[in-house]
Amino acid sequence: MTNIILFGPPGSGKGTQAAKLVEKYNLLHISTGDLFRYEIGNNTPLGLKAKSYIDNGNLVPDEVTIGMLKNKVDSNPDVKGYIFDGFPRTIPQAISLDEFLANKDLTINALIALDVDDEEIVNRILLRGKTSGRADDNDRSTIQNRIDVYNESTSQVYGHYNEKELSHTINGLGTIEEIFGRLCSLMDTKV
């Protein structure tokens, strides 16, 4: 089973590239953002709680995120692997994911980070905000807060997996196809 973490700041192209990787490698894409949007869209208590954090550019508490992720994995046991997108975002989440997978005799095969500079991230998210309907995609200060949160805590997850020699970085700039080509080269040789 191939289990990868697609990593990078908000707006780095994780969702776009994950969809292409799913098609090529037949993996299940688990996006915490999609899980949250589903809960929020259905106005569940969990969704309303998550929304209050997301709208301010903050991370949703671990216990909420981990619970939703476990449910998704448990409900899809017969896939060839998982692409974790937007999770883990902290060291405690990474440890929880590692332990959860180990209990299923699984492991993370690679963390693949999309490297994109902050100004490009802001421009991509503002552009996405014109059609996404997401309040957090239209406010420059909220976007910057999301980038700051990523830089302060989430980027440490890269080091967690790098200690296990599982972290890789690819250039996240270029056309969708150019970036996908870089991802596939890495998947085919390192994962």
- Structural domains of the chain ordered from first start: 2-178 (3.40.50.300)
pLDDT in tens, 129-144: 888 888 888 888 889 9
- Output the pTM of the full model: 0.84
Write out the catalytic residue numbers: 14, 89, 128, 134, 146
pLDDT in tens, 95-132: 999 999 999 999 999 999 999 998 999 999 999 888 88
Let me know: does 81 contact 2? Beta carbons within 8 Å. yes
Give the span between the Cα atoms of 54 and 136, in whole angstroms: 7
As given in the structure block, the two tokens for residue 76 are 């899809």
